[in-house]
Amino acid sequence: MAILIPFFQQLTGINVVMFYAPVLFKTIGFGGSASLMSSLITGLVNVIATFVSIFTVDKLGRRKLLLEGGIQVFLAQIVLGILIAIKFGTSGVADLSKTYAIFVVVFICVYVTGFAWSWGPMGWLVPSEIFPLEIRSAGQSINVSMNMLLTFTIAQVFLPMLCHMKFGLFFFFAAWMFIMTMFVYLFLPETKNVPIEEMILVWKKHWFWGNFIADEDIHIGDVEMDSNGRPSKAVPVAPQN
């Protein structure tokens, strides 16, 4: 989890959308201020969607936001890839009508909202609460290091990939979105309202990860627990005055 969650977060394709945004906004009449306006609009959408995540994450849960956001981003990238392919092709030259360009920009905003209330904040929130206390500091250090490493790597290879793959880059990241959404569905347990001290019970109950956790390894404080979260043996009680 410490490796794959930041790995997947950087492969959502956010860099693709942010790269195309100034070009697409320029086609609908922003002229020389295209970059500023695109940053303003996508940034505003990003902030609003992030607040949606803040107010709903403890009600809906982490998995629901990740799954919904993953599906939304996947579909938006497929549509964007098709729209760009139809007009730009592989030549990079197109004559877009304002209506068509606005339609493309709408799907950019759909993508940004999906990312901003799912993999954007959840990529940091989930790793901060899934590790038992014994390994939490090590898990978080791996998570942050992996995130920074992937950020650097994507920044280095993005432009060459864009030059070679062109609109296919949308489909490339859409494929990763499918993989990471399936990963969440199959392997990421829900951590909503679970104290960190009891995370070991969540992993033990999971259909896959539970196979790697022995009952005698489950401890909450100084008490050995069974897989159902109950003390596995009598716990001495201090005498009362």
CATH number at residue 80: 1.20.1250.20
Instruction: Give dist(CA 241, CA 104) in Å, integer.
Output: 73
**Domains of the chain: total:** 2
Instruction: Note whether 64 and 102 are same-domain residues.
Output: yes
Determine, yes or no, domain membership for 51: yes
216 within a domain of the structure (yes/no): yes
Tell me whether residue 113 is in a domain: yes
Three-state secondary-structure class, residue 219: strand
Q: Are residues 186 and 214 in the same domain?
A: no
Q: Does residue 169 sit in the same domain as residue 105?
A: yes
Tell whether 164 is covered by a domain: yes
CB atoms within 10 A of CB 129: 14
| Length reported for the chain | 241
C-alpha gyration radius of the chain: 22
Residues 157 and 112 both lie in one domain: yes
In a domain, 45, yes or no: yes
Residues 126, 217, single domain; the answer is no
Yes or no: say if 16 and 42 are a contact pair by the CB < 8 Å rule: no
**239 belongs to a structural domain:** no
Are 130 and 16 in the same domain? Answer: yes
Angle between helices 136-165 and 168-187 (to 10 degrees): 150
Is 238 within a domain?
no
35 in the same domain as 11: yes
The verdict on 225 and 114 lying in the same domain is no
- Identify whether residues 53 and 79 lie together within a single domain: yes
Q: pLDDT tens string for the chain (241 positions)?
A: 999 999 999 999 887 777 777 766 766 556 666 667 777 888 899 999 999 999 999 999 999 999 999 999 999 999 988 988 887 765 655 566 777 777 888 898 999 999 999 999 999 999 999 888 888 899 999 999 999 999 888 888 887 887 888 888 889 999 999 999 999 999 999 999 898 888 889 999 999 999 998 888 787 755 555 555 565 554 444 444 4
Domain membership flag for residue 241: no
pTM value is 0.84
Question: Are 118 and 220 contained in the same domain?
Answer: no
Whether residue 199 is found in the same domain as residue 129: no
For residue 167, give Cα distances in angstroms to 109, 177, 195: 18, 16, 44
Task: Please give the residue range of the domain that contains residue 120.
Answer: 4-192
Residues 25 and 107 in one domain: yes
